[in-house]
Amino acid sequence: MAAYLDHAATSPIRPEIAALISHLHDQNLGNPSGKHGAARRATAILDSSREEIALIVGGDPGGVIFTSGGTESDNLAIFGILQRLEKGGKVVISQIEHRAVLVSAQEACDQFGFELVKAPVGADGVVDIDRLNDLMDESVVLVSIMASNNELGTIEPISEISKIVRKMSPHAIVHSDAVQAAGWLPIGEIFNEVDMISLSAHKLGGPVGVGALVTKKGVTIAPHNHGGGQERGRRSGTVDVVGAASLSAALKAVNASEWAKALTLTQSLEKGLRENIKGLEVTVSQDKRVSGTLHVIIQGVEGEEVLFLLDEYGVAASAGSACSSGSIAPSHVLQAIGAGQSGTAAIRFSLGWSSNQDEINEAIVATTKAVEQLRSSTGIPK
Amino acid sequence: MKIAVGMSGGVDSSVAAALLMEQGHEVIGVTLKLWGGLSDSGCCSVSDVEDARRVALRLGIDHHVWGMTEGFDEKVVDPYVESHAIGETPNPCIECNRHIKFDAMFKRAMRLGFDAIATGHYARVEKSSDSSSDRARLFRSVDQLKDQSYVLSGTDPKVLEHTFFPLGAMTKDEVRQVAAKLNFPTAAKPDSQDVCFILATGGRKEFLEERIPLTPGKLVDHATGEVVGEVPALEVMTVGQRREIGHDSEGQRRYVLDVNMKSKEVRIGRLEHLLDKTLKLRDVNFFDGFPQDGTPFIVQVSAHGKPLEAIWTENGVIELSQAQRRVASGQTVAFYDAESGTEVLGGGIVDRRESII
């Protein structure tokens, strides 16, 4: 028995992408900056991948900067903007950003002299639009709010957020970490509202180690790493051509029928867990979350213990944030929504392209069994 | 049996895991994440976790990190700070054993369906099924120099019943030989010595300073009653200490005899003033109920202290057969049987006494 329900951490590679990678590695691709056939073959693949990604998100190929993944894209976006601006303005992010934004925004603000302001979210994990409105003024130079939260799976109202920013802070650049959203929401609609988005391949069934920052025309990014001037001088370092092709392939593979399937599966999971486990609450209701993520809070058990038993029963799930494991303090996301108190378990089930009903059934049985075992034992032997 | 072995990545716990595997047990390695702050063993003890994981990989067993920082703060760190704040000298490792390793970790292991836990401590357990007693019994290890029964003296026999100390019957040399044979990546890792959450650079003072206001005090010569100096922080002074207080007018070494937070005084004097034959205890626990007055015991008053003959008297006072250097309040006293001095029968905490001589 095995159920992999941790796609939001990393999704298994799609067979067609694994085949593509293997195929490309057999093509004797050179360094795209070379002056020979092998280099030209690489350049052709790189160029077409860039064009395909631009087409999918509705941007310009020149705005696609390939990176090593979501974290680098977020860092490049935030440092790349703040580094070239005069100090003194405000940077607005949400309370529940991924640490790649949370920490890099704090670091960049400290380094370059900006004030960091965190927009609050409601108990449902959605950015509070009215309070965001109150925070915005002409001094805001950068806004970075994720399109979907990695722990909870919330859908953030990027369109409304963008409208407020454009009206109240006309000079602000808007960035959105769309790493979690890209697999579950129309990415073109998100990009349309903002100036930059971060993408990562391995959340979509592509390989770990490649992502992109996609910028709109006219958005100038100062380089974060320096060297050979690749990616129009914005990200030096030999471009991972196979990775670029894989990211493009992963974005193309994502489709609405996967969303519909995942929605049915998470609904089934929610129903099964609710029926079998008392004291279980679904953190974000279905209308406010992406179809692939179900986050629950279970009373009277510890998250680490539930996950340990789920693992023993062959079910891979997560406490929500891969970076905070080992800590039992609630994550900043749970703190922001007032959840995750001691003596409760916060568990994230996240689905992906390979998920099926059998896995959901196994997860329901395993979670029920784990919670029953933990609740019935005090830990003191008879 | 399915056993959760507490692994620090050091030689002892690594060998303990290996021996249990050799005996045919199903072993899973567990490293506790106890401290969220800075530590000499790496930020958040990350290096310990990595070392333990490498050993687990070598052994071919699963390794898990169990986060217990909240319990550690509440049961170990906060009481440590509070104890110093009233002028005592606590032993946080004993509290950690009692409340975290042999309570929180144990209970978690039981809830998760393990049959037992194990650690690399040097001590021996005799399960009730192997003895005439109806409870598990705790004994000193075979290696007298490494014996850690003292720091385990607060462990509940119900927990010991489901606990293994695979190194209890071995010497450290034998353990090192096993480690070398198994070619553990961390075979040369030194034994941990100090309190894990206190940095060597800043010491206790810096740690306490960040948490409580420290109290300056006067150094008072016990013989003359004269004030002979000052100390910046009474909270870090320990009975028996001779560092930082210099010599007397005749060039004799001086020792801290008492730390009094009320009068803000540190009494200092010569070694002979430090010697004492009685110890008053609190929080006393005997596994088989309180003994009668006059019952003889062997006691140990520090982690590697020598065994002392003593007699239990009423009101938690023990009389030592020979005068010893006074033990700081907050320290643990372990009781051993008077005959062999090898079986732990209970323990207690040294209490403060108003009159010291």
CB contact under 8 A, A374 and B111: yes
Q: Please, what is the Cα angle at B111 between B110 and B115, to 5 degrees? A: 30
Using the Cβ of A341 and the Cβ atoms of chain B, whether some distance falls under 8 Å is answered with no
Residue B44 has pLDDT above 50, yes or no: no
Helix axes of A99-112 and A70-82: crossing angle, nearest 10 degrees:
20
How far apart CA B317 and CA B301 sit, in angstroms, is 14
The pLDDT assigned to B50 comes to 87
Q: What confidence category does residue B356 fall into, taking pLDDT thresholds of 50, 70 and 90?
A: low
ipTM, 2 dp: 0.87
- b (16+ CB within 10 A) / e for A272-286: bbeeebeebebbbee
Which tokens is A376 given? 């019935």
CB pairs under 8 A between A and B: 52
Write the pLDDT tens digit of every residue in A207-220. 999 999 999 999 99
**Rounded mean pLDDT of B171-196?**
82
Task: Find the range with the poorest average confidence among A65-69, A274-278, B71-75, B188-192.
Answer: B188-192
pLDDT above 70 covers what percent of chain A?
Answer: 97
- C-alpha separations of B206 from A49, A149, B202, B210, B219 in Å: 56, 39, 5, 6, 21
- Sheet arrangement for strand B116-118: B63-67, B26-33, B2-6, B116-118, B163-164
Task: Please determine whether the domains at A3-11+255-376 and A15-253 fall in the same fold group of CATH.
Answer: no
Task: Find the range with the poorest average confidence among A232-246, A317-331, B163-177.
Answer: A317-331
Which tokens is B193 given? 């010595």
Task: Please determine whether the domains at B2-182 and B275-350 fall in the same fold group of CATH.
Answer: no
**Rounded mean pLDDT of A33-53?**
97
Task: Compare CB distances from B111 to A328, A329, A377 and report the shortest one's residue.
Answer: A377
Task: Compare CB distances from A379 to B36, B44, B110 and report the shortest one's residue.
Answer: B110
- What's B8's DSSP letter? -
How far apart CA B186 and CA A48 sit, in angstroms, is 50
Q: What confidence category does residue A1 fall into, taking pLDDT thresholds of 50, 70 and 90?
A: low
Residue B39 has pLDDT above 80, yes or no: no
Task: Find the range with the poorest average confidence among A339-348, B18-27, B82-91.
Answer: A339-348
What contacts A221, CB < 8 A, 6 or more positions away?
A65, A76, A77, A80, A81, A213, A215, A234
Using the Cβ of B158 and the Cβ atoms of chain A, whether some distance falls under 8 Å is answered with yes
- C-alpha separations of A27 from A17, A38, A226, A380, B357 in Å: 15, 8, 29, 62, 89
Of all residues in chain A, the one with the smallest CA distance to B45 is: A326
Q: What confidence category does residue B129 fall into, taking pLDDT thresholds of 50, 70 and 90?
A: confident
The pLDDT assigned to A224 comes to 86
Nearest residue to A374 (alpha-carbon basis) of A283, A303, A325? A303
The residue ranges of every structural domain in chain B are 2-182, 213-269, 275-350
Q: HSE-up of B338 (CA within 13 Å, CB side)? A: 11
In chain A, alpha helices (H):
15-25, 37-57, 70-82, 99-112, 129-135, 158-168, 187-193, 241-253, 256-276, 303-312, 332-336, 357-376
The pLDDT assigned to B45 comes to 56
Q: How many CB atoms are closer than 10 A to CB B200? A: 8
- Specify the CATH number of the domain B213-269: 2.30.30
β-bridge partners, B123? B140
The pLDDT assigned to A206 comes to 98
Domain B2-182: homologous superfamily in CATH: HUPs (3.40.50.620)
* A327 vs B343, more confident: B343
Q: HSE-up of B159 (CA within 13 Å, CB side)? A: 24
At residue A307, the 3 state secondary structure works out as helix
In contact, B231 and B264? CB cutoff 8 Å? no
The residue ranges of every structural domain in chain A are 3-11+255-376, 15-253
Write the pLDDT tens digit of every residue in A172-184. 999 999 999 999 9
**Exposed, middle or buried by CB within 10 Å (0-12, 13-18, 19+), for B138?**
buried
**Rounded mean pLDDT of A102-129?**
97
Using the Cβ of A257 and the Cβ atoms of chain B, whether some distance falls under 8 Å is answered with no
Using the Cβ of A372 and the Cβ atoms of chain B, whether some distance falls under 8 Å is answered with no
β-bridge partners, B20? none
The pLDDT assigned to B41 comes to 55
Residue with tokens 């150094």: B219
How far apart CA A301 and CA A150 sit, in angstroms, is 23
Which tokens is A138 given? 């002409």
Which tokens is B11 given? 């030689």
CB contact under 8 A, A380 and B68: no
Nearest residue to A196 (alpha-carbon basis) of A233, A146, A150, A245? A146
Gyration radius of chain A's alpha carbons: 21
**Rounded mean pLDDT of A159-188?**
97
Residue A323: active-site member: yes
Would you identify the CATH topology of the domain A15-253? Aspartate Aminotransferase; domain 2 (3.40.640)
CB contact under 8 A, A305 and B67: no
Using the Cβ of B107 and the Cβ atoms of chain A, whether some distance falls under 8 Å is answered with yes
How far apart CA A175 and CA A52 sit, in angstroms, is 21
Using the Cβ of A304 and the Cβ atoms of chain B, whether some distance falls under 8 Å is answered with yes
* CB < 8 Å from A in window 178-207 of B: none
Of all residues in chain B, the one with the smallest CA distance to A329 is: B70
- What's B151's DSSP letter? G
**Rounded mean pLDDT of A27-56?**
96
At residue B19, the 3 state secondary structure works out as helix
Residue from B26, B111, B129 to probe the interface with A (highest A Cβ count within 10 Å) = B111
Tell me the shortest Cα–Cα distance from A175 to chain B, in angstroms: 32
CB contact under 8 A, B111 and A342: no
Residue A327 has pLDDT above 60, yes or no: no
Contacts of A342 in chain B (CB under 8 A): 70
Tell me the shortest Cα–Cα distance from A238 to chain B, in angstroms: 32
Using the Cβ of A326 and the Cβ atoms of chain B, whether some distance falls under 8 Å is answered with yes
Write the pLDDT tens digit of every residue in B243-279. 878 777 778 889 999 999 999 999 999 999 899 999 9
CB contact under 8 A, B111 and A381: no
Q: What confidence category does residue A277 fall into, taking pLDDT thresholds of 50, 70 and 90?
A: very high
Q: What's the full length of chain A, in residues? A: 382
Listing DSSP states for A226-250 in one string gives -SS-TTTTTS-S---HHHHHHHHHH
Of all residues in chain B, the one with the smallest CA distance to A304 is: B66
Q: What confidence category does residue A325 fall into, taking pLDDT thresholds of 50, 70 and 90?
A: very low
Q: What confidence category does residue A320 fall into, taking pLDDT thresholds of 50, 70 and 90?
A: low
Residue from B47, B65, B112 to probe the interface with A (highest A Cβ count within 10 Å) = B112
Which tokens is B319 given? 């009389």
* CB < 8 Å from A in window 48-87 of B: 49, 64-70
β-bridge partners, A39? none
Nearest residue to A147 (alpha-carbon basis) of A179, A121, A188? A179
Residue B42 has pLDDT above 70, yes or no: no
Contacts of A340 in chain B (CB under 8 A): none
At residue A140, the 3 state secondary structure works out as strand
Could you give the residue numbers annotated as active site of B? Answer: 96, 196
Residue from A301, A302, A327, A376 to probe the interface with B (highest B Cβ count within 10 Å) = A327
pLDDT above 90 covers what percent of chain B?
Answer: 73
Q: Which CATH number fits domain A3-11+255-376: 3.40.50.170, 3.90.1150.10, 3.40.640.10, 3.40.50.2300?
A: 3.90.1150.10
How far apart CA B350 and CA B327 sit, in angstroms, is 7
- Sheet arrangement for strand A280-282: A280-282, A293-299, A344-350
Using the Cβ of B2 and the Cβ atoms of chain A, whether some distance falls under 8 Å is answered with no
pLDDT above 90 covers what percent of chain A?
Answer: 93
Of all residues in chain B, the one with the smallest CA distance to A370 is: B112
Task: Compare CB distances from A304 to B44, B67, B109 and report the shortest one's residue.
Answer: B67
Nearest residue to A74 (alpha-carbon basis) of A148, A145, A11, A141? A145
How far apart CA A165 and CA A157 sit, in angstroms, is 12
Contacts of A373 in chain B (CB under 8 A): 111, 113
Using the Cβ of A28 and the Cβ atoms of chain B, whether some distance falls under 8 Å is answered with no
Residue A49 has pLDDT above 90, yes or no: yes
Write the pLDDT tens digit of every residue in B292-331. 999 999 999 998 899 999 999 988 899 999 999 999 999 9
Q: What confidence category does residue B46 fall into, taking pLDDT thresholds of 50, 70 and 90?
A: low
Q: Find the Cα–Cα–Cα–Cα dihedral B164, B169, B172, B178, rounded to 10°.
A: -80
Using the Cβ of A376 and the Cβ atoms of chain B, whether some distance falls under 8 Å is answered with no
- What's A127's DSSP letter? B
* A325 vs B288, more confident: B288
* CB < 8 Å from B in window 69-108 of A: none
Task: Compare CB distances from A379 to B70, B107, B161 and report the shortest one's residue.
Answer: B107
Domain B275-350: homologous superfamily in CATH: Translation factors (2.40.30.10)
